[in-house]
Homo-oligomer: A and B are copies of this chain.
């Protein structure tokens, strides 16, 4: 009897939406050969990660075992699946495999971080097979909200695992391969031991709708607009851009694409040969001379990003274009939770210009890229796996997805980041917990989520900052008066008097009373000054600022 085992341990993406990173292993316990599926990022927010540029999974556990890592597979080119590749690859140094479009994006990610693009190998869809230690891996096409999304067939000596990647059930997706029950059925027919499956939309009760279903409503919307039409969606949603552009062209409008991310995605899709029928477009310079009733702009910024084209248009001019009464702005997108304020802000700024703002509240102008509940049931059925592990979702989604599987007689377990399960037997067994967490890309540094750096920033954001400096002379007496400065605090306190004056006075009072022992001990003096400052701020302002005390002690030479 073999002592080899098949293990699965998510390092990101399981118990959250974002920063996907899933490890599979096969071999003797503790010496399994490993593969990694996806290496994505998640996005920071002001509430918990102010000033942070990107959030990456802490792959320290895997980096410590990099010698056992056979390969990295990227299922598709969304940031939450590929965004961390350039940053973290140097700690893993394994070959990266992806299909054509994804590989092009992945190479950019590598090169941007000073890595070799050639580490990313382009592979074809099944039956092409990558041998990676004990694993034989094939990419199978799925429909999603960007070109060439894939699931993985992962054959191991312990049986077949299917990792769906992100997918939707769409038989007419516009760009990319349609949902193909026949192909999926064939994968299932060979016997799937474990299905690892997207959980994002498990709470949506209706079947997902097709990209094609949007065309009539979009065309009608464009037809009914007097002035310019501006539409935004995710930059990578090339199929939607095509649907939108077609709606423009059908109504006699010239189409201009604005925003670097969007242009790059379209270019990449065209270079990969995946987008041969995108209608002709004009450039922003040409757009300036087209009457607005004959113009349609496709712009970045569906999530309200401050620097994207939509935000710039809402503040005034972007690349010579501006919006006005009679124009239409369309959010052909959903808003990711947490981005609502930014999106509403832009919608209102545009409304103030007289622009009609239309979003997907009517559900006519956007379809999701993830499988709804009936779609999940179809995938489960096609795979016929006795075990289903939910992934890609927050805890509530994973839990509901597991329950859905269990009600149809499939075994399931909620496996969150850091939980290692043994998939060798008939039921998944939890065998270990490994350390996971988050790394913050902050400027050009990677900072641990627990390092306290961001905590200090949040505290300054909530409470402001106070600085107290004092010089102590060679004899141990204060030299002159203490100096106080504040940042992010009201100028005047309760009585209307300057807080800085009150701070300096209270410190002077304290210094007058302080004994030589306190004045002579840096720690004691520091603590005491801090206490005075804290008390003044609480009394005068009702605030608890962060406080920095600098005592400079002159030395006898």
Question: Chain A: residues with CB nearer than 8 A to chain B?
Answer: 15, 45-47, 50-51, 203, 205, 337-338, 340-342, 344, 347-348, 351-352, 357, 361-362, 394-396, 399, 416, 442-445, 447, 451, 453-454, 456-458, 460-465, 467, 469, 471, 479-480, 483, 485, 487-494, 541-543, 546, 548, 550, 552, 554-555
Contact = CB atoms under 8 A, between A and B. Distances in A.
A338 B337 contact: no
A337 B341 contact: yes
Contacts of A469: 469, 550, 552
A287 to B, nearest CB: 26
Nearest to A442: B490
The 8 closest A-B pairs by CB, nearest first: A443-B542, A444-B542, A461-B461, A457-B488, A50-B461, A337-B340, A51-B462, A443-B543
Contact of A337 (B344, B461, B479): B344
Contacts of A546: 487
Nearest to A17: B344
A352 B399 CA distance: 9
A107 to B, nearest CB: 23
A503 to B, nearest CB: 14
Of the candidates A340, A458, A487, the one having the most CB atoms from chain B within 10 angstroms of its own CB is: A487
Contact of A351 (B344, B399, B447): B399
A462 to B, nearest CB: 4
Contacts of A463: 51
A447 B490 CA distance: 6
B493 A550 contact: no
9 contacts: A46-B46, A47-B47, A337-B340, A442-B542, A447-B490, A453-B490, A454-B488, A456-B487, A483-B550
A464 B457 contact: yes
B47 A396 contact: no
A445 B493 CA distance: 7
Contacts of A447: 490
Given A442-B541, A443-B541, A456-B488, A394 B465 contact: no
Contact of A485 (B51, B342, B351, B548): B548
B465 A460 contact: yes
Given A461-B51, A489-B453, A352 B550 contact: no
Contact of A460 (B488, B490, B491): B488
Contacts of A471: 471, 552, 554
A362 B494 CA distance: 50
Given A51-B488, A469-B550, 16 more contacts: A46-B46, A205-B362, A338-B340, A351-B399, A352-B416, A443-B541, A453-B490, A456-B464, A456-B488, A469-B552, A471-B552, A471-B554, A480-B552, A483-B550, A487-B546, A552-B552
Contact of A490 (B45, B394, B445, B465): B445
Contact of A457 (B341, B344, B461, B480): B461
A288 to B, nearest CB: 27
Nearest to A457: B488
Nearest to A348: B395
A403 to B, nearest CB: 9
A274 B502 CA distance: 50
A58 B355 CA distance: 28
A399 B457 CA distance: 39
Nearest to A447: B490
A485 B443 contact: no
A113 B352 CA distance: 36
Contacts of A347: 394, 396
Contact of A488 (B352, B453, B552): B453
Nearest to A484: B550
Nearest to A53: B542
Nearest to A361: B203
A51 B46 CA distance: 12
Contact of A50 (B352, B454, B462): B462
Contacts of A46: 45-47, 50, 461
Contacts of A490: 442-443, 445, 447, 451, 453
B493 A554 contact: no
Contacts of A458: 50, 461
B467 A548 contact: yes
A344 to B, nearest CB: 6
A218 to B, nearest CB: 19
Contacts of A338: 340-341
A203 B342 CA distance: 19
A347 B442 CA distance: 29
A394 B399 CA distance: 37
A351 B62 CA distance: 28
A543 to B, nearest CB: 4
